[in-house]
Amino acid sequence: MKDFGIKQALQTLGLQDINNGTATGLHNFSNGEIIESYSPVDGKLIGKVKTTTKEDYEKVVVAATDAFLVWRNKPAPQRGEIVRQFGNKLRDLKEPLGKLVSYEMGKSLQEGLGEVQEMIDICDFAVGLSRQLNGQTIPSERPSHVMREQWHPIGIVGIISAFNFPVAVWAWNTALAWICGDVCIWKPSEKTPLCSVACQNIMASILKENNLPEGISCIINGDFKVGEMITSDTRIPLVSATGSTRMGRIVGAKVAERFGKTLLELGGNNAIIITPTADLKVVVPGAVFGAVGTCGQRCTSTRRLIIHESVYNKVRDAIVGAYKQIKIGNPLDENNHVGPLIDKAAVHKYLAAIEKAKAEGGTVLVEGDVLVGKDYNSGCYVKPAIIEAENHFEIVQHETFAPILYLMKYAGEVENAIEKQNGVAQGLSSAIMTNELKEAEKFLSYAGSDCGIANVNIGTSGAEIGGAFGGEKETGGGRESGSDAWKVYMRRQTNTINYSNELPLAQGIKFDL
């Protein structure tokens, strides 16, 4: 395999040489078993990290607890300054970190670089927000009284992230948590552990340069058993978890049992509605990137195209034609559009989903398959597939984390398409392609899309950090990133101040002694 600078990237990020097989951060509490990280790009071992034992975890929580007592006393703009330095360091390391993301996860280099840019963007957003953590003044019904609302740091934030965005989702959470005065313990996916170590190295260097406790940013590595340490720990008031709906049900129930708070970003089953007035120049790239970007492993990936019957054949033929131009291969080669799935288990699920769709009556338009040959020796490369299907098919009702796109027709008014789009258990992202204002407004109305994200004339994936990101129904209901998502990382407090010499009671209650 052509090197594409991977060895240099690892060394620049504070990871040892790729042939050495070990990766260490500036501070490593871990003494557990070894996780070996193999690249889905070429099947080669990138490095190894130790998992976190129960004893290790206790040391991490103690370090985070002690750090919180220091960090919460820093004025928010000073906390923002640390996040600013972190963002600048990411600018310096964008290329090597983007390459690591691409190589360890398998997404295209452009997407890997884009993920690091998301980290930089959320840092910029958080820095500005550090001077705007505003409460409000509320009129009191009692004379010479004033009511206020203010926000305080919540404490330790536990972050459980998925493999598909191995660095950006952590940054969405931690940049906001930090400026809010919280400290973070991050449990990354065991499928992309080196990305977490690289990020920890970067932030650890910033904390060391500013003489701040390293417990402000902590990582723990391992499988779901390590994640359970976070979800069951009453010392962690907020758990932000990104992953499957199945995982979210477990995390949500466990944290709720101890009256903790959760921020859940779970599965998506996203659709684009294509109306008779849609512009094909917008439809084709939006639908194709949405369906095959990150090899279909985004929670916002386009799974369904709901196409008006009057333009169905034209749209179908255009999408099928575009799939013939897709280049699949090493994602570090920028001539390729699509890299591999994360591992062979994902490949098996992809193949099973295609067979299930066929068994339910689906018609294959673009055949899926596993690619073989010297350029695909990891066994994780697959062909994006297109299948004509019905919305009620069981396989269509579920999210398959792979590049499988289902095409279906709708007749009549746009309300019929919206009903199909909403007719799944998930509610993350949605889009409509139309040049008809009334259709767009219906789609965006209270009777329109039931998703947390609803787009007009763009695809379902590619959210900007300025807006709150998240979804409804089985997507979990959480919101991350922009808008007022910062409030979940803080605790709200209402204050009432009496500056009179009397003690009037609310609601006119009399209590004379």
Which residues are identified as catalytic?
A: 265, 299
Evaluated on CA atoms 87, 122, 177, 95, the torsion sign reads: negative
Q: In what order do the strands lie in the sheet with 238-242?
A: 217-219, 183-187, 156-160, 238-242, 261-265
Q: What distance in Å separates the CA atoms of residue 185 and residue 112, rounded to the nearest whole number?
A: 23
What are 37's strand-pairing partners?
47
The span from the first CA to the last CA of the chain, in angstroms, equals 87
What dihedral do alpha carbons 66, 70, 76, 81 form, nearest 10°? -100
Cβ-proximal residues to 474 (8 Å cutoff; 6+ apart), any chain:
245, 248, 266, 267, 425, 426, 427
Distance CA(424)–CA(45), nearest Å, equals 39
Are the C-beta atoms of residues 222 and 78 closer than 8 Å to each other? no
**Dihedral sign for Cα atoms in the order 42, 15, 164, 225:** positive
Residues facing residue 364 across a β-bridge: 387
Quick check: 391 and 414 in contact, CB under 8 A? no
Listed residue (453, 430, 456, 429) closest to 441, CA to CA: 456
In the block, tokens 């690892």 appear at: 10
In one letter, which amino acid is 121? D
For residue 256, CA distances in Å to 57, 242, 251 come to 21, 16, 8
Tokens at 244, concatenated: 């499957």
Cβ proximity of 365 and 389 under 8 Å: no
- How far is the C-alpha of 124 from the C-alpha of 397, rounded, in Å? 38
